[in-house]
Amino acid sequence: MYIDTHVHLNAEQYEEDIKEVIERALDANVKRMVVVGFDRVTIEKAMELAENYPFIYAVVGWHPVDAIDCTEEDLKWIETLAAHPKVVGIGETGLDYYWDKSPKDIQQELFRKQIRLAQKVNLPIIIHNRDATGDVVRILKEEEASITGGIMHCYGGSVETAKECIDMNFMISLGGPVTFKNAKMPKQVATEISLEHLLIETDAPYLAPHPYRGKRNEPALVTLVAEEIARLKGVSVDEVARKTTENALKTFKITD
């Protein structure tokens, strides 16, 4: 069994064929999916999916790119949703210095607020990091994010930084890029970081794994991520599936 720990089935790319996408995932033995909302529209859709499908869970939070749009009212709404039994995390939040829609100081302030919110509701926090590793790690330390821990989503950094995050009670989640031929760091992380600390995800509809790179991604393809990790580690795919599923259930406190 596999768990796709980070997927955007709430994206408009799935409006035409969401049922078929979900069926293909189940047929591929992807038995649970965690749908991540990151603004008003996608959070509402994530909640709807979680309520309609017993094997779908929701993560709710506000994306750093859109930090400038997030109000105190939005944060209170997210806190209210956190009490829902199908909500298993806060995020995705973090920092994104690639896009310049939201100034860095506003991103950092919202990041800190969501870490504190996660601590208040006792849920893991899901971290988005693009071109901002130093500030992400610093803020996680300053805000004592290890209290809840969480997930470094679609991790693309170094082994050294991965170990720093693991020391702060964070799991390292690998997605499609680990299958790319030129992806040295994700492959190194997959090789050197123990399975005890790894999760798998698609981030679909984005970042489809090889040989589907550039096409629409979907949860069924998380199996290709597991296969590449197994190849790099020299273990069976079943072992990767079993351990990453166990890790995901524990991280998200899923018991059903």
Q: Are 37 and 82 in contact (CB under 8 A)?
A: no
pLDDT at 256: 81
pLDDT tens string 165-201: 999 999 999 999 999 999 999 999 999 999 999 999 9
Tally of CB atoms within 10 A around 182: 6
| Alpha-carbon dihedral sign for residues 177, 181, 184, 186 | positive
| Alpha-carbon dihedral sign for residues 160, 163, 164, 170 | positive
Q: Does domain 2-252 have CATH number 1.10.1530.10?
A: no
114 alpha carbon, distance to own chain's centre: 15
pLDDT tens string 66-111: 999 999 999 999 999 999 999 999 999 999 999 989 999 999 999 9
Phi/psi for 170 (5° steps) reads -110, 140
pLDDT at 26: 98
As a whole number, mean pLDDT of residues 141-163 equals 98
* CA–CA dist 202, 42 (Å, integer): 17
N-terminal to C-terminal alpha carbon distance within the chain: 15
pTM: 0.97
